[in-house]
Amino acid sequence: MSNSTKKTILQVAVPSPLRHLFDYLMPENCDAKNIKPGMRVLVPFGKRESIGVILDIVTSSKFAIDKLKPAIGVIDHEPLLSNNMLSLISWTSNYYHHPIGDVINNVLPKLLRQKTRKKKDEEYSYVNKIPQKSASHIKLSEHQKQVIAAIKKHLSEFKTFLLDGVTGSGKTEVYLRVIADVVAKGKQALILIPEINLTPQTISRFSERFSAKIAVFHSRLTPKERLISWRMAKDGAAPIVIGTRSAIFTPLKNPGIIIVDEEHDLSFKQQTDLRYSARDIAVVRGKLENIPVVLGSATPSIESIYNVKRKRYIGLALPERAGGASHPSFHLVDMRNQKLKNGIAENLLCQIEKHIDKGGQVLIFLNRRGFAPILICHHCSWVAGCKHCDARLTLHQKNNHLRCHHCGAIVKIPTKCPQCQEEKLLMLGAGTERVEIALRELFPEIKITRIDRDTTKHKNSLEEILKNIHEEKYQILVGTQMLAKGHHFPKVTMAAILNVDQSLFGSDFRASEHLAQLIVQVAGRAGREIMSGEVYLQTHNPHHPLLLDVINGGYMSFVNNCLEERQTAELPPYSYLALLQAESKKQDAVFDFLTTLNDKAKTELDDSVKIFGPVATTMERKAGYFRAQLLIQSKGREKLQQALDVLLRVIDKLKPPPGIRWFLDVDPAELG
Span 61-89, pLDDT tens digits = 989 888 999 999 999 999 999 999 999 99
> Topology of domain 131-323, per CATH?
Rossmann fold (3.40.50)
Helix, strand or coil, per DSSP, at residue 273: coil
pLDDT at 481: 86
pLDDT at 125: 44
Do 9-118 and 576-666 fold alike per CATH? Answer: no
User: Is the CB of residue 293 less than 8 Å from the CB of residue 258?
Assistant: yes
* Domain residue extents for the chain: 9-118, 131-323, 325-371+430-565, 576-666
Average pLDDT over residues 637-661: 93
Neighbours of 517 (CB within 10 A): 25
Opening angle at CA 636, ends 632 and 639, nearest 5: 65
Residue 504 — pLDDT band, cuts 50, 70, 90? confident
Residue 237 — pLDDT band, cuts 50, 70, 90? very high
Q: What CATH number does the domain located at 576-666 have?
A: 3.30.70.600
Q: Is the peptide bond before 614 cis (omega within 30 degrees of 0)?
A: yes
Residues 325-371+430-565: name the CATH superfamily: P-loop containing nucleotide triphosphate hydrolases (3.40.50.300)
Measured in residues, the chain has a length of: 672
Span 135-178, pLDDT tens digits = 457 889 999 999 999 999 999 999 999 999 998 889 999 999 99
DSSP 419-458: TT----EEEES--HHHHHHHHHHH-TTS-EEEESTTTS-S
Domain 9-118 has CATH 3.30.230.10: no
